[in-house]
Structure 1
Amino acid sequence: MEEKNKKQQETSDEIKNNITLFKLIRILFHNRFKLYKVCGISALIGAVIGFSLPKTYHAYVSLSPESGMNGASGLSGIASMFGLVNSSTGFGEDALTFNMFPEIVKTNPYALEVLQVPIQTQDGKTMLLYDYLDIEQKPWWTYVTGLPKAAIGGVKSLFSQEKPDTVTTIDPFKLTKEQDMHIKMLQDVLKVETDVKTNMTKVSVALQDPLAAAIVADSAVYKLQEYITDYRTRKAKQDYDFQLNLCEQYKKEYFAAQQEYAQFADANRNVILQTVTSEKERLQKNLSLAEQIYSQSMGQLQVLRGKVQEAKPVFAVVEPATVPLVPSSPKKMMIIIAFAFLAFIFESAWILFGKDIYHDFKNEMKKKD
C-alpha cells in the first residue's frame, strides 16, 4: 500500500513538473518576439565588437632540451640570477628544471633583449619590436575611453621637456613608465608553456602581422637559448680564459728560455770550461722545464675547451616558426553566437522570474511609503 502511494506521489510530482515546464515554455513562446528582438540586437552588438577587433596571427615554436642533460643546476642558477629563487620556499636547486622557462621569459632582462629584435612586416617595413608594438591597431573603444588620459597627457606635455623614450636609452635599473608599458605589452603577446612530463617547451607569439609574429617567435627562442647557454658555459669559459692567459705566459717564458739557451750556446761554442758547461746545463734544464710546463698547460687548455663545448645545452627545435596564413582571432561567429546566447538567457530569466520579482519589490516599497 505504501509503495502504491509512493508511486502515485512520484507520478503526481512528475505531472506537476511537466505542467510547470510546459507553462514556462508557453510564456517564452508568447514573448518570442521580445526574445527575437533582444537576441538580434545582441548579435548585432557582437558583430560590431567582432569586426572591430583587429586580426591577430599566432606563430608557434616547439623545442626540447637534449634528453641526457640535467637542467636543474643550470636553470637554478639562471633563476637565481634573475631573482626568481625564494629562499623561504625550502626548495633546493634540484626542484628547478626546464619548467622555469616561462618564468625566465617574464623577467625584465629577457624582455629588454627581445624588444631590441629587428623585425620586418609584410608591407616591407623594418623596425625594432619596441617600436612595432606602438603601431599595432587597437579597437575603436580604446581610443574613446583613452581620450581623457590623452587630453591630460597632452596638457602635461606642454609644460614638460621630457624626451620620448627610445630603445637605445633603456636603463634596466631605472625603467620609465613607457618602457615598463612596452615590457608588459611584450609579456601579453609572448607566451611560453612547458610540458612537465616531456620537457617540451612551446613558445607562442600573437601579433597583427604574420611575418612579424614568426620573426619574433624565432628570435624569442634564440634569445632563450642564448641566456641558458651563456649561464651554463660561463664558469667553463672563465676557466678556459684563465688557462689561456697562463698558456700565453708560459709560451713567452718558454720562448725566452729557448732564446737564452741558444744565444749562450752560440756564444760559447768552442769554450771548454767547467763554468760554461754548468751554465749551459742550467739553461738547458730551464728550457726543458719551461717546455714541459708549456706543454702541460696546452693540454689542460684543450681539456677546458672540451668542457666549454660539453657545457653547452642542446635544444632540438621540434616545430620551427612559420609565417601563419590565417588569423587565429578574433573568432567573429563565436562572438556573435555568444552574445545572442547570453541575451536569450538573461531575457528569458527576466520574463520568467525577474519581472515578477521586480513588481513585487516595487509594490512592497509603495506599501512602506
Structure 2
Amino acid sequence: MEDIKRKDADMNDGQQNKHPQEEEIDLLELALKVWAERRWILKCCGYAVIVGLVIAFSIPKEYTASVMIAPEASDNKGGSLSSLASLAGISLNTSSGSDAIYPDLYPDIVSSTPFVTGLFDVPIRDMDGEINTTLYDYMDEYQRVPWWSYIISAPFKALGWIVSLFKESEEEVEKLDPFQLTKEQTDIVKALSDHIGVSVDKKTGVTTISVTMQDPRISACLTDTVVNRLQSYIIDYRTNKARKDFHFQEKLFERKKKEYEMAQENYAKFADANKNIILQSYRAEQVRLENEMNLAYQVYTSVAQQLQIAEAKVQEITPVYTIVEPATIPVKASKPSKAMILIGVIFLTGMGCIGWILMGKDLLYSMRKKNIPKV
C-alpha cells in the first residue's frame, strides 16, 4: 500500500512540474508566431504612421490662455466698518456677511446658461485681423473641423434638408431668450462651456480660468472677458443687499434733508416776520418751530451718518481679486498633441496585428471549417 501511495505522489508531482513547462512552451510558441509575422506587423505600422500623420495634421490647432486669480482674505472684514458705526452710536452686526458662493461653485457659475449666453455679444478679433465679429457668430461660422466631419455629417444634413422641405419655415428669433434657446443656440452654449475651464485650488484658494480657442488672440481676450464677468457676478451677488440698503438710505437722506430745510425756512420766516413782537403766543410758536427745526436737524444728521456707513459697507464687502498670472497670447498650440496621436495609432495598429496573429486567424479558420459542407 505504501508503494502505491508513493507512486501516486510521484505522478502528481510530475503532473505539477509539467504545467509550468507547458505554459513556457505555449508562450514561446506565441512569441514565435508573432516573430514570424514581424515583417507584416512592421508594414502595417508603417501604414499606421501615415494614417496617424494624416489624422494629426487634419485636426485644427487650438490655443489655451489662462488667468490665475486669488481672492483677498476675509478674516477681519468689518473691523473698520464697526468702528465707524460705533462712533455714530449704531450697533452693526457684521457676522451675517457669510458668502453663499464659494470658489468651488465657480465652475458651475461659468458653465451656467445665463453666464454663457451673456458672452454671445462679446466682440472678438482674430490674430490676422480677418475676423471681426461677435463670439456667437465666430462659434457658428468660423470654426474649423476635420475633413472627416463633413463626410460623417453629410447624410444627416441631407436628411435634415429633405425634412425641411415638408415643414413650414420658422420665424427667426431676433432676441436671445436664455429660458427658451433654439437648437443652434443650445449647441453653441454647450461648445462654449466645453472650451471654458475653471479649476480651484482648495488649499490656497487660487482659481485658474482657462479658455481654449482656435485663435490665440481670441483665447486670450476671451479669458480676460470671462474673468471680468465672473468677478462682476460675484461682486453683484455679495453687495446686492448692501447696495439696496445704500439706495434706501440715500432716498431717506434726501427726504430728511428737504424736511430739515423746510423746517429751517419756516422758522426763519416766522422769526423775521415777528421780530419786535413780545406776545407769549408768538414766542410759543417760535419755540415750537425752533424745536421742529432742531429735531429735523438731528434726524438729518443721523441719517447722513447712516448713509456714510451704508456707503462704507458696500466698499467694505466688495471682494478684491489679485491677478496672480494675467492672460497672455499663447505662442504654441495646446491641441492636438501630434506625437500622442501618432504613438496611439501605431500602438493600436501593432496590438491589432498581434491579436489577429494570435487569435484572429485561428478563429477565422475554425469558422470557415464549420461552414464547409461534409461530403
Give TM-score, length-normalised by structure 2: 0.84
- Decide whether the 8 Å contact of 1:72 with 1:98 is kept in 2: no
Distance in structure 2 (CA, Å) of the matches to 1:367 and 1:332: 51
Counterpart position of 2:345? 339
Counterpart position of 1:149? 156
Query: Which of 69, 73, 95 in structure 2 is aligned with 1:63?
Result: 69
Distance in structure 2 (CA, Å) of the matches to 1:151 and 1:354: 38
CA distance 1:228–1:250, change in 2 (3 Å): same
Matches for 1:185-264 after TM superposition, within 5 Å? 185-264=191-270
- Decide whether the 8 Å contact of 1:75 with 1:98 is kept in 2: no
Query: Which of 100, 109, 112 in structure 1 is aligned with 2:114?
Result: 109
Helix, strand or coil for the counterpart of 1:75? coil
What is the root-mean-square deviation in Å for CA atoms of aligned residues?
2.9
Counterpart position of 2:100? 75
Query: Which of 111, 127, 133 in structure 1 is aligned with 2:133?
Result: 127
Counterpart position of 2:44? 38
CA distance 1:257–1:72, change in 2 (3 Å): closer
Distance in structure 1 (CA, Å) of the matches to 2:166 and 2:184: 18
Counterpart position of 2:81? none
- In the TM superposition, residue 5 of structure 1 has moved relative to its aligned partner by 11
Distance in structure 1 (CA, Å) of the matches to 2:147 and 2:203: 43
Q: Is 1:320 aligned with 2:326? A: yes
Distance in structure 2 (CA, Å) of the matches to 1:8 and 1:320: 73
- In the TM superposition, residue 16 of structure 1 has moved relative to its aligned partner by 4.7
Distance in structure 1 (CA, Å) of the matches to 2:370 and 2:161: 52
Distance in structure 2 (CA, Å) of the matches to 1:296 and 1:6: 103
Distance in structure 2 (CA, Å) of the matches to 1:302 and 1:267: 38
Distance in structure 2 (CA, Å) of the matches to 1:15 and 1:72: 75
- Decide whether the 8 Å contact of 1:75 with 1:100 is kept in 2: no
Between Structure 1 and Structure 2, whose CA radius of gyration is higher? Answer: 2
Structure 2: any 5+ residue segments left out of the alignment? Answer: 1-5, 78-95
Query: Which of 275, 288, 299 in structure 2 is aligned with 1:293?
Result: 299
- In the TM superposition, residue 115 of structure 1 has moved relative to its aligned partner by 2.3
Share of identical aligned residues, percent? 39
Counterpart position of 2:30? 24
- In the TM superposition, residue 331 of structure 1 has moved relative to its aligned partner by 1.3
C-alpha distance after superposition, 1:11-65 (max 9, x if no partner):
8665554443333232222212211222122222221111110000011112222
Distance in structure 2 (CA, Å) of the matches to 1:262 and 1:23: 117
- The answer to which of 155-164 and 299-308 deviates more is 155-164
CA distance 1:118–1:34, change in 2 (3 Å): same
Distance in structure 2 (CA, Å) of the matches to 1:133 and 1:304: 44
Distance in structure 2 (CA, Å) of the matches to 1:123 and 1:72: 48
Structure 1: any 5+ residue segments left out of the alignment? Answer: 77-96
- In the TM superposition, residue 316 of structure 1 has moved relative to its aligned partner by 2.1
- Decide whether the 8 Å contact of 1:52 with 1:140 is kept in 2: yes
1:39 counterpart letter in structure 2? C
- In the TM superposition, residue 269 of structure 1 has moved relative to its aligned partner by 1.6
Distance in structure 1 (CA, Å) of the matches to 2:358 and 2:161: 51
Distance in structure 1 (CA, Å) of the matches to 2:236 and 2:66: 24
Counterpart position of 1:91? none
C-alpha distance after superposition, 1:331-363 (max 9, x if no partner):
112211210111101111110122112222332
- Decide whether the 8 Å contact of 1:74 with 1:231 is kept in 2: no
Counterpart position of 2:147? 140
CA distance 1:154–1:361, change in 2 (3 Å): closer
Counterpart position of 2:91? none
Helix, strand or coil for the counterpart of 1:192? strand
Distance in structure 2 (CA, Å) of the matches to 1:340 and 1:5: 48
CA distance 1:368–1:62, change in 2 (3 Å): farther
Distance in structure 1 (CA, Å) of the matches to 2:327 and 2:12: 67
Give TM-score, length-normalised by structure 1: 0.85
- Decide whether the 8 Å contact of 1:165 with 1:179 is kept in 2: no
C-alpha distance after superposition, 1:61-109 (max 9, x if no partner):
1222223369994335xxxxxxxxxxxxxxxxxxxx3211111112111
- In the TM superposition, residue 195 of structure 1 has moved relative to its aligned partner by 2.4
Aligned residues: 347
